[in-house]
Amino acid sequence: MNTDESVKLENQLCFTFYAASREISRMYRPYLETMGITYPQYLVLLVLWEKAACTVKELGEHLFLDSGTLTPLLKRMEEAGLVTRQRSKEDERVVVIGLTEKGHSLREQACKLPETLLRGSGLGTEEYLDFLRRAKQLLGHIHQLNENGAR
């Protein structure tokens, strides 16, 4: 790709992922609104439905978010009755996040989301799974580079 082509918006992988992420979030919005949660709250719930409980640090590692971003989100979720936040008895600096009954109860509604959104994506199941695998591979490579401080 020549220099002129490489700086066109349409040739930027970062922009394509950014725009796709925004559009996917927009697809989720009406379903999540009926559940009374936001997309970032949905991501937190996905982790907790799988893990039952975890520390803020572990949650951040799963979601690629820092504690400064997670803390206000988790406070709002606690106020909404979705999660509990408790200091660890072993180390008071560590906050453990768990699900409330209300948080657990949203899982059943959420189970319908992936299939609904897959149909709306225009991708077939195999195409979707292949794309997901490749996107995870890319994320892993980029994350590893960033962790190693590569430029």
Domain borders along the chain are 1-35, 41-101, 112-151
pTM of the model: 0.88
Rounded CA-CA distance 116/142 in Å is 30
Q: Dump pLDDT digits (tens) for 61-84.
A: 999 999 899 999 999 999 999 999
pLDDT at 88 over 90: no
**The predicted structure's pLDDT at residue 106:** 97
**The predicted structure's pLDDT at residue 116:** 86
**The predicted structure's pLDDT at residue 148:** 86
What mean pLDDT is reported for the chain?
A: 92
Give long-range contacts, CB 8 A cutoff, 24+ apart: 108-113.
Answer: 109/34, 109/35, 110/35, 110/42, 110/45, 110/46, 110/49, 112/31, 113/28, 113/31
**The predicted structure's pLDDT at residue 103:** 97
The conformational region for residue 81 under phi > 0 = left, psi -120 to 50 = alpha, else beta, is: left
Q: How confident is the model at residue 127 (pLDDT cuts 50, 70, 90)?
A: very high
Q: In 39-148, which ranges are continuous DSSP H helix?
A: 39-51, 56-63, 67-79, 101-110, 113-121, 125-147
Fold designation for 41-101: Arc Repressor Mutant, subunit A (1.10.10)
**The predicted structure's pLDDT at residue 41:** 97
Q: Dump pLDDT digits (tens) for 18-74.
A: 999 999 999 999 999 999 999 999 999 999 999 989 999 999 999 999 989 999 999
